[in-house]
A and B are shown apart, each in its own frame.
Chain A
Amino acid sequence: MIYRECGVFKASYREDMAIFPIPLDRWGVIVILGMAFLVVPFLASDYWLGSLLIPFLVFSLAALGLNFLTGYAGQLSIGHAAFMAVGAYMSLILYGRYGVPLILSLLGGGLVAAAVGAVFGIPSLRIKGFYLAVSTLAAQFIIEWVLTHWKWVSGGVFGTVDTPPMQVFGWAIDTPVKKYYLVLSFVVVLTLFGKNLVRGQLGRAWMGIRDMDVAAEIIGISLFRYKLLAFAVSSFYAGVAGGLITFAYYGAANIEAFHLTVSFHLLGMIIIGGMGSVLGSFFGGGFITLLPIFINQFSRSFGTMLKSDLLACIELIIFGGLIIIFLIVEPYGLARLWHTLKEKLRLWPFPY
């Protein structure tokens, strides 16, 4: 009754092809964006902004990239954190060593990561399935080695490169609020770009490749082009996310921050959030990023402070258990649950 399509008339092609055809959806997104830009920075504490919202946004962006590759194009990839590392180091080099403006160096890091991703995507033209998954693991190890051993990248020091103080168009970005705005703007723009990407020809080609790639090739979808594009686009998103998290959260580029476990966390994010769904990446990203905090708070509310390694074990158990539970109960993830809820709302108060 509230959330309905009847009474919504489209008078032009433009309106017909809008991202959010239902007005309540459109208003909802505008309200959320408004709150994110105008309300949250003033109400939230520095801790919330700096330690919770920024990692949530950044990892959701990286999960979105992985979703393009695994959820839309069907190429399973378990080495995605390596492309985040490439973006992190490259954007730092561009900004710190060559003085390229911050926004351009973040995008540049993403572009370099895209190129690297396309190179590591070449095996996908011949190899399929689990063989491909293990080949993408090769990317993780090779890139880790290159970034630590190549002197031009690591600057002669093994592993860690600090970020210089940031500024955009002359404004210094030093407080958590300003960092939050930087990250939020990037995430909003890139998400909009990504949503339109998968609604158009590219997304349809990817979904064709995911469902049955032999048939897709027969009807004329060039597997070479679209598979490499999938790797390139998803690595671009991962690279920008890596650059953002280096500048706005870690403060230094360290290869240990992009270890294999991060790749598994990203995979967990898209499994729990929903593969093949833009919104799902955000659900999954939020869930996994905020999970350790919740466990901590939960255990503290019992009055006992558990030892930190026991807490880490409980985290692992819950993470693994949740993946299994979601796969059994709702294989399409939280995004499908949300979708079902909206469907019910459309018909409310009628049951069907």
Chain B
Amino acid sequence: MAFAIEVVIGGLLVGIMYSLVALGFALIYKASGIFNFAQGDMTLFAALALVGFLTVLPLWLAILAVLALMVILAMAIEAIVLRPLVARPPLALFMATIGLAFLLQGIGQGIWGTDPKGLNIGISDTPFEIKGLMVSQFDLVGAVLSGGLVFGLVWFFQKSRTGRALRAVSDDHEAALSVGIPLNKAWAITWAISGVVALVAGIMWGSRLGVQFSLSLIALKALPVLILGGIDSIPGAIIAGLVVGASENLAEVFLGPYVGGGIQNFFPYLLALVVLWFKPYGMFGREIIERV
């Protein structure tokens, strides 16, 4: 029984880290209506940059440098990729982000090399005990960090003026343009925030798994979280992350041995498919009303 609770707690903590990655997707969708396929590769890029800067700078300076780099990257993406594609259908923008994903992969690995690197930010991985249950210290720190980030972002979108403007842009960017919201600044801010989220996700996952190509595949793990919670819902990303993390671990531990193991790769997708059948826009996603 204690083992089951440990599995669940471990799953919940990992789930919050998944939702951190899903958050990046949800942010960009919420603020610009674009499904950013390049989020995983932005995470990889940020982690690679951090490891690269860590060889010459101390930790805090390196993090600030990568933050600045991600902001510059966001402005570059907005100017080169998004501005020419302003009035295109969302599918075209999605495909542009696919191209962007490959581009970032190639540039990141071209500059900093393809061999796996370790990332150590000073948080130890030794588990500590709470009432007889083993909990990983690292996972706990990750969960707290992600939770804090989510609360901050929810506040930003709901209460601040810029957040309101970003939500307007997501609803209909041509209408927002006509009302006077500077579209290029809004997009640059959104991508910069998403870049920061990618950096945090990159740090957490990079410390866990090592910084290598498979880091960009974490995004694939976060996609079922995203669609389960709803593409444009920030609280949805957190709750779905918890659900996916816990169920994935439980399924692997208790169902896995019956069917040969290795089901944690696709179990979240199966779960998402089942939920989507009943709620086609995810648990908390905004329903799109189509006009004919």
Contacts and interface: CB of A to CB of B under 8 A. Distances in A.
Given A142-B270, A264-B98, A123 B103 contact: no
B57 to A, nearest CB: 24
B73 to A, nearest CB: 14
Given A134-B223, A134-B227, A149-B259, A316 B114 contact: no
B103 A316 contact: yes
B273 A309 contact: no
B290 A320 contact: no
Contact of A127 (B90, B260, B280): B280
A264 B217 CA distance: 13
A314 B265 CA distance: 30
B94 A137 contact: no
Contacts of B277: 123, 126-127
Interface string A301-314: 00000000110111
A319 to B, nearest CB: 5
B255 interface: no
Nearest to B290: A214
A149 B260 contact: yes
Given A214-B292, A313-B107, A319-B99, 9 more contacts: A131-B282, A133-B94, A138-B272, A149-B262, A218-B292, A309-B109, A313-B106, A321-B99, A323-B98
A271 B37 CA distance: 15
Given A149-B259, A324-B103, A313 B110 contact: yes
Interface residues of B, number: 51
A142 B268 CA distance: 11
B260 A123 contact: no
A268 interface: yes
Contacts of A309: 109, 113-114
Contacts, number: 141
Given A126-B277, A314-B106, A324 B265 contact: no
A346 to B, nearest CB: 29
8 contacts: A123-B273, A130-B35, A131-B282, A141-B265, A267-B95, A313-B110, A317-B110, A320-B100
A145 B280 contact: no
Contact of B85 (A127, A316, A327): A327
B102 A320 contact: yes
Nearest to B274: A123
Interface string B127-147: 000000000000000000000
B223 A145 contact: no
A126 to B, nearest CB: 5
Contacts of B187: none
B265 A145 contact: yes
A323 B96 contact: yes
Interface of B: 35, 80-81, 84-85, 88, 90-92, 94-96, 98-107, 109-110, 113-114, 220, 223-224, 226-227, 231, 259-263, 265-266, 269-270, 272-273, 276-277, 280-282, 288, 290, 292
A315 B261 CA distance: 35
Contacts of B92: 327, 331
B280 A323 contact: no
A320 B106 contact: yes
A63 B227 CA distance: 27
Interface in A117-161: 123, 126-131, 133-135, 137-138, 141-142, 144-145, 149
A71 B260 CA distance: 38
Contacts of B261: 149
Interface residues of A, number: 45
B161 to A, nearest CB: 29
Main DSSP-derived SS at the A contact region: helix
A317 B102 contact: yes
Contact of A131 (B103, B265, B266, B280): B280
Interface string A46-82: 0000000000000000000000000000001000000
A149 B261 CA distance: 9
Contacts of B35: 130, 133
Interface in A206-233: 212, 214-215, 218
Contacts of B269: 134-135, 137-138, 141-142
Nearest to B95: A271
Nearest to A270: B95
B77 to A, nearest CB: 10
Contact of A130 (B94, B105, B114, B292): B94
A325 B213 CA distance: 25
A44 B101 CA distance: 37
Given A134-B226, A317-B103, A328 B84 contact: yes
Contacts of A318: 106
A312 B265 CA distance: 27
